[in-house]
Amino acid sequence: MNKVIIRTERGCDKCGEIFRYKHLKKINGNYVCKHCSIKIRKAHRKETYENSEDKEIIRRLTSEIGNKRATERRRERKILRLEDSTPPKIKGSKKTIVDKNNLYLTLQEKQNLFRMLVDRGVDGDDVKERIKNLVRSQKELREKMLNQKKSDKEIKVEQNKMLEELWNY
């Protein structure tokens, strides 16, 4: 059996460093690395500029192209600034006071409660339903006690009792 050896690396024909094929460029039949190809392009550009008869025209055209690019960039930045700017806030506006319920189940608490009850042998769907019922009943209890004009402390105590019942299940 003949073994086929595939070469994946080759040396740069200019500097001699070894690179993978995909990092080499082929210029005039020679394999050249990135750094050498940059040098070749610069030398070629310089040579064509020096050999040309219209140096002044070339210089003027390159400066015009650079000026056009700069003005386009400025225009684009200005448009982006205008699009991204937010409208000014109206001064003197009053913030509304939101009635906050300080006792609620966070996502982590719900997940911990779910894991704990499932480990105790309760069915997963049953646990989900119980947690939903607990949250709903806590909201209803809060509204009911607020209508009875109970204090926040009393409401929190009652909600804690409901939560403890579920934890101790």
Give the confidence band of 72 by pLDDT, cuts at 50, 70, 90: very high
Place of tokens 């939560």: 163
Q: Cβ neighbours of residue 40 under 8 Å, at least 6 residues apart?
A: 14, 27, 32
Q: Is the pLDDT of residue 42 over 90?
A: yes
Q: Which residues pair with 25 in a beta bridge?
A: 32
Give the mean pLDDT of 144-164: 81
Higher pLDDT, 156 or 71: 71
Q: Is the pLDDT of residue 4 over 80?
A: no
What per-residue string of b and e applies to 90-104 under the rule 16 or more CB within 10 Å gives b?
eeeeeeeeeeeeeee
Q: Is 152 exposed, middle or buried (0-12, 13-18, 19+ CB in 10 A)?
A: middle
Q: Is the pLDDT of residue 7 over 90?
A: no
Domain boundaries, the chain: 8-51, 53-83, 107-167
